[in-house]
Amino acid sequence: MSDTEPPLPPTPVLHSARLILRPVRLDDGPAMQRRFPQWEVVRYLSTRTPWPYPADGGVVHAQRCVDRIAARECFLWAITLKGGDDELIGLMDVRPDDGVSREMRGFWLDPEFWGQGLMTEAAELVTEYVFVELGWPHLWLDNAASNLGSHRIKEKQGARIVERIENAAWVSGPDAKIVWLLTREDWLARRSEGAIRRMPPTPVLHSERLTLRPVCPEDTPTIQRRFNQWEVVKYLSAVVPWPYPDDGAATNAVETLKEMAAGEKAIWAITCKGAENELIGRIDLWPDDGIIRTQRGFWLDPEFWGQGLMTEAAERVTEYAFTELGWRHLWLRNGEANTASYRVKEKQGARIVDRVPAKFVSGEMMSVVWYLAADDWLAHREEKS
């Protein structure tokens, strides 16, 4: 990083289904010393890696990692298992494009944990962070030609080979160096083609005043009665029919149950504690497909407006997405005139990133696009507590 470039943000804690990536600490030195100096780990690394590995190598490297994190010149994550003992089992680093080296990411993993897809999971998590949250346009990547494991990870992510450099120097000796370019556009396209992540069954969630439970066929008459109100539908997408047909809720229920069964969405009936059979609204959550930039929708009967119930439901679902599913962000939307929905997002710490024309039941208006990062949400919640 040049002196004129702004420092990177602090290395954040990242969560995936099975992993927690946290900043490297000084006390990671012993784990590094135990797990790193193995031939399978180092053989395809650059000759900058000392080999044989010195007895104080782990401690020295942990100190260097901490210093570089403090200087904000790169990101350095300890790879740890979710639900484990927080011990480092590998390392991932990412650095800005210096315009010369064409090396922006590196990693290693103890062979004890190979063959489980953990390195791919970690690489995807970090790539999502730099492309979605930081907005980086690309990553330059490389590996020894014989390093087929690293090669496959890059292929899975949608990277393309741009050069082969013969006789590069590796710990194991000369081998060709494969240079890859992974662009944000290619990664997003690969992710959307590869499928939306399947949602687990919709769980029952509890908050102070609410129980959010899966929508069921028995909710249909209540939905027909509560949803069929202009104040509820006017800021919804124009795909919602209006005037609302007599069989509107029944027809929608068929589609809703299909979406839940297929794992496309989590769909909750919003109910008051002690009255769980009576739906008063609905809230939906679905994965990021890399294209439409919206992942949550909700409505609430106006009878229950003005009590903060919608904010409470949105907070509980957001907590589920970030802490239980391990998502790193939510894309959100609302019509520009929908000030109530606007306030819910503001309260959560979301930030506006775009405005685009859209059609709503009430007519055409700008659709406000918001981005809610897990770190921003957590910081906002801690400020309020």
Q: What is the pLDDT of residue 105?
A: 98
Query: Under DSSP, is residue 283 helix (H, G, I), strand (E, B) or coil?
Result: strand
Q: Could you tell me the pLDDT band of residue 2, with boundaries at 50, 70 and 90?
A: very low
d(Cα 129, Cα 135) in Å, to the nearest integer?
8
Q: What is the pLDDT of residue 71?
A: 95
User: Is it true that the peptide bond before 96 is cis, omega within 30 degrees of 0?
Assistant: no
The torsion angles phi and psi of 110, rounded to 5 degrees, stand at -55, 130
How is residue 160 written in tokens?
A: 């393309």
d(Cα 184, Cα 339) in Å, to the nearest integer?
33
Range with lowest mean pLDDT among 89-93, 213-217, 374-378 = 374-378
Greater pLDDT, 249 or 385: 249
120-154 pLDDT per residue, tens: 999 999 999 999 889 999 999 999 999 988 998 99
Distances (CA, A) of 105 to 23, 88, 191, 291: 15, 18, 19, 25
How is residue 167 written in tokens?
A: 């006789």
7-17 pLDDT per residue, tens: 899 999 998 88
CB-based burial of residue 9 (10 Å sphere; 0-12 exposed, 13-18 middle, 19+ buried)? exposed
d(Cα 311, Cα 322) in Å, to the nearest integer?
16
323-373 pLDDT per residue, tens: 999 888 899 999 999 999 999 999 999 999 888 888 899 999 999 999 998
**Site of tokens 């997003």:** 188
Query: Under DSSP, is residue 171 helix (H, G, I), strand (E, B) or coil?
Result: coil
Residues 331-347: b if buried by 16+ CB within 10 A, e if exposed: bbbbbeebeebbebbee
Residues 148-167: b if buried by 16+ CB within 10 A, e if exposed: eebbebbeebbbeeeeeeee
d(Cα 78, Cα 93) in Å, to the nearest integer?
9
